[in-house]
Amino acid sequence: MTDRRTEILDAALLVLADHGMRGLTHRAVDGAAGIAPGSTSYYFRSRSALVAGCVERLLALDVEREMPALVAPRGSPLDVLVAVGVSMATDQRHRTLARYELSLAAVRDPALRAELRAGGDTIRRLGAEALAHLGAVEPDAAAAEIAALLDGLVFTALVRGPDDPVALAAWLRPPLARTLTALTAQP
Residue 43, in any domain of the structure: no
Instruction: Residue 112: name the closest of 30, 53, 25 by CA.
Output: 53
- Beta carbons within 8 Å of 176's beta carbon, 6+ residues apart: 78, 81, 82, 85, 146, 149, 150, 153
CA proximity to 126, closest of 70, 44, 183: 70
Per-residue pLDDT of the chain (187 residues), as tens digits, is 579 999 999 999 999 999 999 999 999 999 999 999 999 999 999 999 999 999 999 999 988 876 666 556 677 889 989 999 999 999 999 999 999 999 999 999 999 999 999 999 988 998 898 888 888 889 999 999 999 999 999 999 999 988 899 999 999 999 999 999 998 865 5
Threshold 0.95, pTM exceeds: no
Is 96 inside any structural domain?
yes
pLDDT at 68: 64
Assigned domain for 100 exists: yes
Q: For residue 63, what is the domain's CATH number?
A: 1.10.357.10
Asked whether residue 67 is domain-assigned, the answer is yes
Query: What pLDDT is attached to residue 137?
Result: 87
Question: What's the pLDDT at 71?
Answer: 57
| 44 within domain boundaries | no
Residue 5 in any domain: the answer is no
**Domain annotation covers residue 90:** yes
Which pLDDT does position 187 carry in this prediction? 54
Its domain, for residue 86, covers 54-184
In a domain, 169, yes or no: yes
Number of domains in the chain: 1
